[in-house]
Amino acid sequence: MAWTGLSIGLDALSYGMVLFIISIGLSIMMGLMRVVNLAHGAFAMIGGYLASFALKNAGYPLAIVLAVLGTIAIAFPLEFLLYRRIYRKSDELTQILLTIGIAFVIIGVANYILGPTTKSIPLPPLLSGPVDLGFRMIPAHRIFVTICGVCTAGLLWLLIDRTEFGIRLRAAVDNGDMAESLGIKTQILFSATFALAVGLAAFGGVVGAELLPVEPFYALRYMVTFLVVVSVGGAGSIPGAVAASILLGLADTTGKYLAPEYGEFFFYLAVILVVFLFPNGLLGRRH
Amino acid sequence: MTDRAMVDGVSPPRFSVPLELRAVAITLALGVLGYTLFPDDLAFLTRLISITLLVLSLDLVTGYCGVATLGHAAIYGVSAYVVGNACLAGHSDPLLLLLVGAVAGAVMGLVSGVLVTRFKGLPQLVLSIAVGQLVAALANKLSSLTGGSDGLSGISPGRVFGVYAFDMYGRTGYVFSVAVLMVVFVVLLRIVHSPFGLLCQAIKDDSLRARMIGARVYPRLVLMYGVSGVVGGIGGALNAINTGVVGLDSIGFERSAEALVMLVLGGAGSLWGALIGSIVFQVFEHYVSAANPFHWMTMVGALLIAVVLFAPKGLVSLGGLLAGRTASVMRRRP
């Protein structure tokens, strides 16, 4: 029984870390630009596709870098043409419709160009084997994902808490107009944050491809999950996103281990309970 | 009566006396038009009407109350399953089944409303999605009641008024559906122009101000969700009665998202918008998606972006320019 618990815990942790890496970009965007970006999953999907493409000619680390940069390059025109219109001002309905429209277009185009099949992202030999933990064999990839998640959280914390960029970002989150009048170019800040968010989504899409397989409907299938993580964690909060990812990863994994026939029932039950008890997220702030 | 006049004084022009008559005439005309255009495909039209009721139901909460929801198909699907089960249990009178669907929808609507309208913004959106997904997961699990992924089949309703049997060409089903749509539409017109409906719009425009003038916001929104549930439930019932099959697709996220797309295309906050949006979208879909479902997805996406950028108030606002002009001319007459 204890071993089962530990197994569930380890799986939940790695799944939660994937959720965290992808969702944190969305969370930062929502905290700063107040944009409910339903196309965030589509950007993670683009990252996965680009990586599977790049892996035919390049090594795994290089493929990750190429996928992240490529996704940012693809997403940037969208930021320039569409997202800029909805930063901080539109009502949710407009944002939902615009971003779900973008997600639909990306799904349709991906399906047209790449076909409906799942694209494999082969792991390097170092990560594809199992690792013996004494009581259980665990895929090395899970450990790698967990380390990626911890590093992402740490680096983001450094970026936001310790750098000039982070100070400006927090200023703009707290009071955009005041930050603007103090000479912070919020438009540039928004664009940089958008690129960061999209890059994180692509990174998560690549390293998490073993757990969330890359196929055209990825964008919709997991979008809801990412949105839920942000809402449960509280928009813009890194510790909140970590807590929410692990909590929801645990709810989902436990449900699937103990009552697989219920599908995502327990996951959404947990979501309803948490959102009802903490409408601003576990560690979110009141706007 | 004075209330109505005062409200009319400040809001955009609103048709007064012949509104319901006009709605009856237009739905009848649309019904006849549909029958002449697609005489061999009445099944498509009855499906269209059933979805139209879902879109109208969504309009009540999204358009008139400002609640952003992506889980509205839960109401539609639950009602369809309840009606299917009632019919399989031997209660086959179509009118009784409609009533069953309406009650099931109302219950589901009230439950959703209690959960979803409690908060605004992101928590609201996420709660609406979570409720929808929870119900969809349950529908998949409880396969003894829903047939799981195979769907619930073998629903064969009895004769309407004990006289008109549902034939294989779907003529009875079509006339029945048009009649239901007409009645629902007229009743909804009364409701959205009633003090209760106007209060809901006031809450949508500025919920703080509505609270300041003494409106109890949360109970009103939950009540409107219940009304919306009745309408969505009737839509789900029509789906079960006409097709004889209820599948998981009638309860899923895609159905909710699609209904929202139709509503916004036509124009949220107007019953005419919901009607126009769902008709235009589905007729378009009927032709295009048959050719290639994935081009269809790209086109819907592009259409959504275009609507948000160029016609944020929907198709009805384009037509509304004309209608507004005639209405103001008519109002000037003594």
Q: B1 pLDDT exceeds 50?
A: no
Is B281 part of any domain?
Answer: no
The pLDDT value recorded for residue B311 is: 80
Size of interface A-B (CB pairs under 8 A): 131
| Residues of chain B contacting A100 with CB distance shorter than 8 Å | 257, 261, 301, 304
- Span B138-150, average pLDDT: 80
Which one of B67, B119, B305 would you mutate to disrupt binding with A, by most A Cβ within 10 Å of its Cβ?
B305
Q: Does B284 touch chain A (CB under 8 A)?
A: no
The pLDDT value recorded for residue B208 is: 87
User: How many independent structural domains does chain B possess?
Assistant: 1
Q: Can you give the residue ranges of every domain in chain A?
A: 24-223
What local confidence, expressed as pLDDT, does residue B330 receive? 47
Within a domain: B313: no
Residues of A in contact with B131 (CB under 8 A): 268, 272
A193: nearest Cα among A227, A144, A158, A159: A159
List of residues 6+ apart from A272 with CB closer than 8 A: B115, B127, B130, B131, B134
- Cα–Cα distance measured from residue B121 to residue A235, given in angstroms and rounded to the nearest whole number: 11
Closest alpha carbon within chain B to A81: B309
Contact residues, chain A, for B122 at CB < 8 Å:
30, 36, 92, 230-231, 235
Encode B126-180 in three state secondary structure.
Answer: HHHHHHHHHHHHHHHHCHHHHCHHHCECCCCCCCECCCECCCCCCHHHHHHHHHH
Q: How far apart are CA B75 and CA B236, in angstroms?
A: 8
Please determine, for residue B312, whether its predicted confidence score (pLDDT) is greater than 70.
yes
Residue B64: exposure state from Cβ atoms within 10 A (0-12, 13-18, ≥19): buried
> Closest partner residue to A271 among B126, B141, B268, by Cβ?
B126
- Mean pLDDT value across chain B: 83
- CA of residue B44 relative to chain centroid, distance: 17
A276–B115: do the CB atoms touch at under 8 Å? yes
Range of the domain at B32: 14-253
Q: Is residue B277 part of a domain?
A: no
Q: How confident is the model at residue B244 (pLDDT cuts 50, 70, 90)?
A: confident
Provide the pLDDT confidence category of residue B322 given band limits of 50, 70 and 90: low
Q: Where is pLDDT greater, at B3 or B208?
A: B208
Across the interface, whether the CB atoms of A36 and B299 are under 8 A apart is answered: no
Per-residue pLDDT band for B72 (boundaries 50, 70, 90) equals: very high
Least Cα separation, residue B256 to chain A (angstroms): 12
B289 at A interface, C-beta within 8 A:
no
Distance (Å, whole) CA B126 – CA B146: 25
Give dist(CA B26, CA A151) in Å, integer. 62
| Cα B116 from Cα B221, distance rounded (Å) | 10
Distance CA A60, CA A51 (A): 8
Treating both helix axes as pointing N-terminal to C-terminal, what angle do A60-78 and A186-207 enclose, rounded to 10 degrees? 140
Main-chain phi, psi angles of B14, to 5 degrees: -130, 135
Nearest to B133 among A102, A230, A264 (CB): A264
CB nearest A108 (choices: B123, B261, B297)? B297
- Rounded CA separation B179/A119 (Å): 49
Q: Does the beta-carbon distance from B303 to A263 stay under 8 Å?
A: no
pLDDT tens-place string over residues A22-79: 999 999 888 888 888 889 999 999 999 999 888 888 888 888 999 999 999 999 998 8
The burial class, CB within 10 Å (0-12 / 13-18 / 19+), for A269 is middle
| Residue B268: pLDDT over 80 | yes
Q: Is B307 an interface residue toward A (CB < 8 Å)? A: yes
Q: Which residue has the higher pLDDT, A224 or B233?
A: B233
Q: Residue A106 burial (CB < 10 Å; 0-12/13-18/19+)?
A: buried
Q: What is the pLDDT of residue A208?
A: 87
H-assigned helices in A87-163: 92-114, 125-128, 140-162
| CA A26 to chain CA mean position, Å | 6
Asked if pLDDT for residue B34 goes beyond 90, the answer is no
Q: Is the per-residue pLDDT at B2 higher than 70?
A: no
Which residues have C-beta within 8 Å of that of residue B50, sequence separation ≥ 6? B177, B235, B236, B238, B239, B242
The answer to whether A276 and B115 are in contact (CB under 8 A) is: yes
One-letter amino acid at A139 equals P
Banded model confidence at residue B9, pLDDT cuts 50, 70, 90: very low
What radius of gyration, in Å, describes the C-alpha atoms of chain A?
19
**pLDDT (tens digit, 9 = 90+) per residue, B165-193?**
777 677 888 888 999 999 999 999 999 99
Q: Please give the Cα distance from B197 to A169 (Å, whole number).
A: 43
DSSP B15-71: --TTHHHHHHHHHHHHHHHHHHH-TT-HHHHHHHHHHHHHHHHHIIIIITT----S-
Rounded to the nearest angstrom, the minimum Cα separation between B234 and chain A is 26
pLDDT for B250 equals: 82
Distance from the A115 Cα atom to the nearest Cα atom in chain B, whole angstroms: 10
d(CA A105, CA B201): 33
* Spatial separation of the C-alpha atoms in residues B153 and B147, rounded to whole Å: 8
Using DSSP's 3-state secondary structure scheme, residue A259 falls into coil
Mean pLDDT for the stretch of residues B288-308: 82
Nearest to A101 among B68, B137, B308 (CB): B308
Answer yes or no: is B299 within a domain.
Answer: no
B45, part of any domain: yes
Q: Is the pLDDT of residue B334 over 80?
A: no
pLDDT at B66 over 90: no
A230 contacts B125? CB cut-off 8 A: no
User: Cα separation of B65 and B207, whole Å?
Assistant: 10
Beta-ladder partners of B164: B160
The widest CA-to-CA distance across chain B, in whole angstroms, is 63
- Total residues belonging to chain A: 287
Residue B104: both structure tokens together: 């099931």
Residue B297 belongs to some domain of the structure: no
Assess B129–A contact: CB distance below 8 Å, yes or no. yes
Share of chain B above pLDDT 90, in %: 27
Give the length of chain B.
334
Q: What is the pTM of this model?
A: 0.85
Residue range B38-59: average pLDDT?
90
Q: Is B296 on the interface with A (CB under 8 A)?
A: yes
Stretches where chain A sits below pLDDT 70 are 1-2, 90, 135, 284-287
Q: Is B327 on the interface with A (CB under 8 A)?
A: no
Q: B137 CA to chain A: closest CA distance, Å?
A: 5
Please report the pLDDT score of residue B324 as a whole number: 55
Which residues touch A37 (CB under 8 Å, ≥6 apart)? A26, A29, A30, A83, A95, A99, A197
In which element (H, E) is residue A138 found?
Answer: strand A137-139
User: Alpha-carbon torsion A7, A12, A15, A18, what sign?
Assistant: negative
CB-based contacts of A246, cutoff 8 Å, min separation 6:
A12, A13, A16, A20
